[in-house]
Structure 1
Amino acid sequence: MWAHVGQPFAETAYDVVVVGAGRMGAFCARELRRLAPALRLLLVEEGGLPNEEGATLLAPGVWSAHDAPPGREAEAAWTRAQLAGPLGDVQFRAAPLVRLTAQPTPGSRPTAEALAAHPEALALLDPAALPWAQVDPAAATFRPGAVALNAAQEAVRLGADLLLNTRACPGGGGEVTLERLSVTNTHEVVVHERRVVRAAQVVIAAGAAGAALAEHGLGVHTAHGRAYRQSPRLEEPSTEASPTLRAGGLTLRPQAGGWTLAPAIWHRDPQGYVPGGGALTGVPTGLRRETLEDLVALMDAVPALAGGGLGLGRSLSDVPGAWLALPHGRPDAPPLWQRLDETHTLLLGGPLADVLGLGVAHGLAAALAGVPERPWAPAG
């Protein structure tokens, strides 16, 4: 493992280079080493492990069968099993997810009844505005950043090489330019040195930056988009037994004694878009305008959002946020891997990565390893 420029790096060739050590890239590397231990593999990450600026660290980490697309329930269940077991400590916690609606849906029951054992959750809501609840008792929460950390560490234990603080730029012919980054005494990030390695296969798992790497480095147009999602806090009491709530697309995840909010992603952000803050009752906030409008629209149904507990921030930097990849340019598209040419594959997570991401990353690893393994498929 190379963590800084003081450690000389002289390698020139690998069988597989995985660009990006988020949960998707790290798990793909782990599975490749497990399925094809003879392949030489390099995992490259621009930041640390986990990257503190990526969407992996800020993802809500909520698994729910409600989110599994039709026909992929078994793959989603396999992803849950990985989170609950082989990945080590990812702070996996089984906790019901309660979807709240104004109209009854199949299997729903009265909200007051569904949340009778959770007065702290019921206190956030107006049951008259959201009178119906659909409960997923198999739902769970976890830390995606810990998934990336544990999967990458396991990949290294299985024989992968890991190169941190390095920007990777895929090019033609399987060449990957590695820009090893350093920090000056004025805290400016600079390129310390450049090296080129060759790879028989390159997996681009750089999240929201992945499509741009493919287009700029390879000249391959992709239809994938990105959106900027923030995760503000709601400082109202929660407990370890509190359920995850979902209303109007907003997810309220109990965490650290309060609630982390994961706003819905409605559409891709336009090319070149720079998020800007909104204004609540004329006062500028750090929440982007579109997110703030969604929260305001929910304040009657979820009165706690209108109280003093909502973390508005003074600038965008005060409210955690990150660019999120959108497979196919749509927020409802499941994770995917897509062959770009004979050498390069794009691996994207997106909003449904919590539910299907590990299964998709495993599928790519199996394809690269040349094995038909699909552990969630029925025998025969």
Structure 2
Amino acid sequence: MPPADSQPPGQVWAHTGQPFTPRDYGVLVLGAGRMGTACALFLRQLAPPLGVLLVEEGGLPNEEGATLLSPGIWTALDAPAERRAEAQWVRTQLGTAFGDISLQTRALIDLHTMPGIGRVPTRDLGLDAALVTMDSLPWASVHAQAATYRPGALALNAAQAAIRAGANLMLNTRAQLCGDGTVMLERLTVTNTHRIVVHETHRIRAQTIVVALGANGPHAVEHDLGVHTAHARAYRQFPRLNLPSTDRSPLLRAHGLTLRPVSGGYTLVPAIHHRDPAGYEPVGGKLTGVPTGLRRETLEDLVAAMDDLPALATDALETGRSLSDVPGAWFALPDGRPDGLPMHSEVTPNTHLLLGGPKADALGLSVAYDLAARIAGVEERPWDGSATLP
């Protein structure tokens, strides 16, 4: 197999001023978040003869959506025991295959109320008393090999690498599945009154279609193809805690809440408790009677943790005055479960749904590779010790 970098680079259609001539492709990948871009790159590496077209509705790979706001926390603890080797392979790829994604090894400290195997006294860890009430959470498990990175940078770098390896990319293009092996592509433009309109349409045929549209993927499959899925979605917000952090600050977990050091402060990563019903629109809550921009479920989690994480009860917590003040995104829930693992499935012949979800930080890349390998007809998986990328 010739190396992927020996292939001529692909073409990018960024705006409607660039003429586009439709042709058939081996694989259409819909969605340029980290799952779609990684799958496109792996396809070019595993099966260079297959023509690949990556389609993104936004103006840049991963311009918006869950990839940009994903926590970017790798830890093998977020993978089942039987998939730890797979998660370790993902960790290796994060460190070697995707350029600068701000990967940093950090300890992850799980805080507990009771002693247990391998737990150490919290007071021995030198944590800031403004962050943790030591008497309430006196025990901790320390996982030294966790890491943080930027999923948005991963998606952008993977898209660029896929293009260098011969994949084509269409930006500002909305896709509709037609159910007959074709996809209707609507090239979008913005008018001088800031309305998004369809400039032109093209019908593209492909041997294989990969739907990697994140939380919108199951809806697209159900609406366009009439195929019922068990998948769901949930809206997740990421408040900020303005306490100082550094490159050496550890990750903290307590009460299902993760404090991720970033940009000199902390991003709060709340738990996802349940799927949000179809048609649900997030609404804010009230803190001591004052309206806030945090959805009610997130607000309840923060209030419940305030005694043990006292900084949450101070003005260091940014709650926002409306939902638009607090970053948030819709996340796919594979199999409809808040703890659902990344997955792919063939929903109709040669049409695959690829989902990351809340645990994509640990296993997303391996699932994208697994789908690319299946499409390419490659049986071995590198985390089994039987193969490596070319």
TM-score interval (norm. to shorter):
over 0.9
User: Which residue of 2 is the match for residue 12 of structure 1?
Assistant: 23
Q: Is the 8 A contact 2:186 2:201 kept in 1?
A: yes
User: Which residue of 2 is the match for residue 95 of structure 1?
Assistant: 106
CA RMSD of aligned residues (A): 1.1
User: Which residue of 2 is the match for residue 56 of structure 1?
Assistant: 67
Q: What are the superposed Cα offsets for residues 318-348 of structure 1, whole Å, 9 maximum, x if unpaired?
A: 1010000000000111100011121200000
Deviation of residue 379 (structure 1)? 4.0
State how many pairs are aligned. 376
**Which stretch has the larger CA shift, 146-155 or 63-72?**
63-72
Which residue of 336, 356, 366 corresponds with 1:349? Answer: 356
Q: What are the superposed Cα offsets for residues 2-50 of structure 1, whole Å, 9 maximum, x if unpaired?
A: 0111111112211100000100010000000000000000000111333
Letter in 2 for 1:230: Q
Q: Give the Cα–Cα distance (whole angstroms) in 2 for the partners of residues 332 and 106 of structure 1.
A: 24
Deviation of residue 144 (structure 1)? 0.3
User: Which residue of 1 is the match for residue 246 of structure 2?
Assistant: 239
Q: What are the superposed Cα offsets for residues 95-152 of structure 1, whole Å, 9 maximum, x if unpaired?
A: 1111111122331111111x22xx44x4311011111111111100000000100111
Q: Give the Cα–Cα distance (whole angstroms) in 1 for the partners of residues 225 and 381 of structure 2.
A: 30
* Match status 1:337 vs 2:348: no
Q: Is the 8 A contact 1:65 1:136 kept in 2?
A: no
* Match status 1:281 vs 2:296: no
* Match status 1:44 vs 2:55: yes
- Report runs of 4+ in structure 1 exceeding 4 Å deviation: none
Q: Give the Cα–Cα distance (whole angstroms) in 2 for the partners of residues 171 and 112 of structure 1.
A: 60
Q: What are the superposed Cα offsets for residues 238-269 of structure 1, whole Å, 9 maximum, x if unpaired?
A: 11100011111111100000001111001111
* Match status 1:363 vs 2:374: no
* Match status 1:230 vs 2:241: no
Which residue of 76, 80, 85 corresponds with 1:65? Answer: 76
SS of structure 1 residue aligned to 2:15 = coil
SS of structure 2 residue aligned to 1:38 = coil
Letter in 2 for 1:16: V
TM-score of the pair, normalised by structure 2: 0.95
Q: Which residues of 2 match residues 281-320 of structure 1 at below 5 A?
A: 281-320=288-327
Q: Give the Cα–Cα distance (whole angstroms) in 1 for the partners of residues 385 and 44 of structure 2.
A: 24
Q: Is the 8 A contact 1:169 1:176 kept in 2?
A: yes
Q: Give the Cα–Cα distance (whole angstroms) in 2 for the partners of residues 372 and 142 of structure 1.
A: 30
User: Which residue of 2 is the match for residue 138 of structure 1?
Assistant: 145
Q: Which residues of 2 match residues 172-251 of structure 1 at below 5 A?
A: 172-251=179-258
Letter in 2 for 1:76: A
Letter in 1 for 2:377: G
SS of structure 2 residue aligned to 1:137 = strand
Q: Give the Cα–Cα distance (whole angstroms) in 1 for the partners of residues 82 and 321 of structure 2.
A: 44
Q: What are the superposed Cα offsets for residues 143-201 of structure 1, whole Å, 9 maximum, x if unpaired?
A: 00001001110000000000011111112111101111111112121111111100110
SS of structure 2 residue aligned to 1:308 = coil
Letter in 1 for 2:230: A
Which structure 1 segments of 5+ residues have no match? none
Q: Is the 8 A contact 1:182 1:192 kept in 2?
A: yes
**Cα gap change, 1:103/1:66 in structure 2, threshold over 3 Å: closer, same or farther?**
same
TM-score of the pair, normalised by structure 1: 0.97
**Aligned residues: percent identity?**
62
Q: Give the Cα–Cα distance (whole angstroms) in 1 for the partners of residues 368 and 336 of structure 2.
A: 19
Letter in 2 for 1:278: G
Q: Is the 8 A contact 1:50 1:146 kept in 2?
A: no
Q: Give the Cα–Cα distance (whole angstroms) in 2 for the partners of residues 223 and 9 of structure 1.
A: 37
